[in-house]
Structure 1
Amino acid sequence: MERISIIQLFMLTLIFQIGTSVIFGFASVAGSDAWLSTLISTGIGTCLIIMFLILMRLQPGLTLVEWFPAQFGQWLGTPIAWFYMLHFLYNSGRTLGDIKDLIPTTILPGTPSWIILGIFMIAITYALYSGIEVIARLAELILPVILVLFFLEIILIFASDITDIKNLQPVLGAGWGRIWKSVWPSGIQQSFGETLEFAMIWTLVINPKRIMKSTLLATVSYGILLSIFDALAVLTFGEGTFSTSVYPLYRLVKVISVADFLENLDALGILYFMGTAFFKVTIQMYGAIRGIQQLLYLRDSRVLVLPTAAIVLYLGMNISRSTSEHWSSNKSLGNLGLLPFIVFPILLLIVACIRKQLSITQMKKSG
């Protein structure tokens, strides 16, 4: 069986959570308070992930698809497990749809979407065939480069002298309403709730006792990083432009101008977007493939790679016909994520705690 280290888990978790949010800036609905909305989402999202980790500790050695049959029984638990796998595949298609919408409208106008997504999916398929150890080692190589690019972008933005602190004022000028609208439900589902997908990977970590610390450290790091970029976007564009822009964090790279020499760094933003999106889709698909393998009792998961890749590619190509449609469907499906990432885990935690307490009581009586 493949194994990954605790450091590799940290890197995979962080790069997964960054995902496509590094370009889209999902807290833009909160306007100039987007940075505060992101911090609040991080706090609530961290509590949600702690619940996932408690569920892992209550059921050691079991993956997500084994949690529900173990607690709810085969007749109820197995359909729920299948629901998760289908949801993971759907999320993979949506992430791929983000790429389809961004690349042709930015650096490769006129390029057919099927070519872009086809090449992208070939790379993902190769990674999935190679296994989680290779994916984790690749994350060790790519994440430091992405983080260096992040910090380089921050330095260049301040060096460009395009920020204005007045754009962040007044804090809470429009009240808590729009902040909460940004936080619930999409703010805590995006990346934070989706971290539940790592329940298909946690059983492969060499030192399981350190999973909680590593996962929470990655989560807090992601939240702080995204909050910084939201604040930078508001400082640069002001509330009006930031709130109405489809790709606010991508536009942030475009406005960099240092001494009329460092300009039009579009490729910088696309580079780390493609890197983080690659890992997000790969990990989503890996979780789905491993879960389906366990549900079907297959010896080798690689037989599922090509069929799964074909399904995700089809979803990515057809999930929306335009950027506006993609975003509107994201908003309309926001409450759907409450079921797999909040409702089911809470119910599972209640049942698991009750059954554990009953087991302890029974052991005391028999002893």
Structure 2
Amino acid sequence: MERISIYQLFTITVFFQLGTSVIFGFATSAGRDAWLANLFSCALGILLILIYIVLMKMNPGLTVVEWFPEQLGKWIGMPIAWLYPLLFIYTAGRILSDVKFIIPDTLLPNSISWLVIPPFLFVVVYGVASGIEVIARLTEYLLPMILMIIIVEVILLFFSDVLNIDYIFPVIGQGWGKIWTAVWPTGITQTFAETLTLAMIWPLVKETEKVMKVTIIATIVTGITIALFSLMQVLVFGEDTLERSMYPVYILMQQIEIADFLYNLDAIVSLIMILTAFAKLTLYFYAAVRSMQLLLKLNSTRLLILLVAIIIYTMGMTMSENLNKHIYVGIHIFPLHLWVPLLIVLPFLLLIVTVIRRKFGKVSSK
């Protein structure tokens, strides 16, 4: 059986949580308080992650799709469990659709998406076929480099004379209502509640007793990173421009210009955007394949990988006609109607059932 280290779990978690969240800036609807919305979302997200980890400890050695049959029985638990590979596949399709728009708009302007996406997906398929250890090693090598680039670019922004501290005031000037609309449901579900997907690999960690500590630390790192980007965006663009930006991080780094020789760093940011999307897509793909393998009790995953790749490619290339519609669904429809029931409601209900079964099980055993 494949195993990953605690540090690899940390890098996987940060990569997964950054994903496309850092690209589109889903809290921009909070305006100048977007950074506060991100921090608040992170705090509530940690509470959700604690629920997931408690469920993991109550179901030792089992993945998320095995929790439900274990606690609810075959007839109720199995249909619910099958909702998760379907969710993983659909979300992977959405991420591929993100990449379909990102690459022609940033890294390779005017490129044809149906020519660019197949090689990208092929690398993802290769990663999934190679196994979680290979995926973990990749994130282990790439994360320090990406975090260093992010830190350097934030420092360069400070020296580019583009920050305006007045843009951030008044803090909470429009009340908590506007912040809460960014927090619920998108802010909580996007990035943080999605961490439930990683419950598919938690049993593969060598030191499972440290999963809680490492996952929480990784979540804090991610939350601070996303909030820092949001704060920089507010200080550079102001509220009005920020709320209209499609790729706020990409546009933000275009503002770096020092001494007329250090500029045009947006290509590096484009590469980071693609790498984080690649990591998140690979992990969703892996979770979909592994969950189906466990539910179907299969020894080989080759046919599953091929089948899932075809489905993800078809969905990614056809689900959205344009970026505006794609982002609208991702913010206003998808989180409320899919993520909230599957990532918040069902795990919470499962926790209640598990606690009750444990309590009454102990009582009856006495």
Same fold, TM-score > 0.5, yes or no:
yes
CA contact (8 A) 2:107 2:271 kept: no
SS of 1:257's partner is coil
My pick for the range that moved more, 73-82 or 298-307, is 298-307
Report what 2:132 is aligned to.
Answer: 132
Normalization by structure 1: what TM-score? 0.98
Shift of 1:64: 0.8
Shift of 1:129: 1.1
Cα shift readout 1:167-216 (whole Å, capped 9, x = no counterpart): 10000111111100000000000011110001110010000000000100
CA contact (8 A) 1:253 1:268 kept: no
SS of 1:258's partner is coil
Shift of 1:104: 1.1
Shift of 1:358: 1.1
Cα shift readout 1:201-259 (whole Å, capped 9, x = no counterpart): 00100000000001000001100111011000000111111111111111111111111
Cα shift readout 1:309-347 (whole Å, capped 9, x = no counterpart): 111111110110100110122122221111101110011
Report what 2:334 is aligned to.
Answer: 333
Unaligned runs of 5+ in 1: none
SS of 2:298's partner is coil
Report what 2:355 is aligned to.
Answer: 353
Aligned length in residues: 364
Report what 2:187 is aligned to.
Answer: 187
Cα shift readout 1:96-117 (whole Å, capped 9, x = no counterpart): 1111112212232321111221
Report what 1:283 is aligned to.
Answer: 283
What pairs with 1:192-341 in structure 2 (closer than 5 Å)? 192-330=192-330, 331-336=332-337, 337-341=339-343
Q: Distance in 1 between matches of 2:300 and 2:219?
A: 32
Normalization by structure 2: what TM-score? 0.98
Amino acid corresponding to residue 170 of structure 1 in structure 2: P
CA contact (8 A) 2:34 2:230 kept: yes
Does residue 121 of structure 1 match 2:121? yes
Q: Distance in 1 between matches of 2:131 and 2:303?
A: 13
Amino acid corresponding to residue 355 of structure 2 in structure 1: C
Cα shift readout 1:250-271 (whole Å, capped 9, x = no counterpart): 1111111111111121211111
CA contact (8 A) 2:200 2:287 kept: yes
CA contact (8 A) 1:23 1:269 kept: no
Cα shift readout 1:50-92 (whole Å, capped 9, x = no counterpart): 0000000011011111100111111111111111110110000
My pick for the range that moved more, 244-253 or 36-45, is 244-253
Report what 1:149 is aligned to.
Answer: 149
**CA RMSD, Structure 1 to Structure 2 (Å):** 0.9
Amino acid corresponding to residue 166 of structure 1 in structure 2: D
Cα shift readout 1:128-183 (whole Å, capped 9, x = no counterpart): 11100011011111111110110011011111010011110000111111100000
My pick for the range that moved more, 99-108 or 184-193, is 99-108
Amino acid corresponding to residue 5 of structure 2 in structure 1: S
Q: Distance in 1 between matches of 2:271 and 2:336?
A: 31
Report what 2:20 is aligned to.
Answer: 20
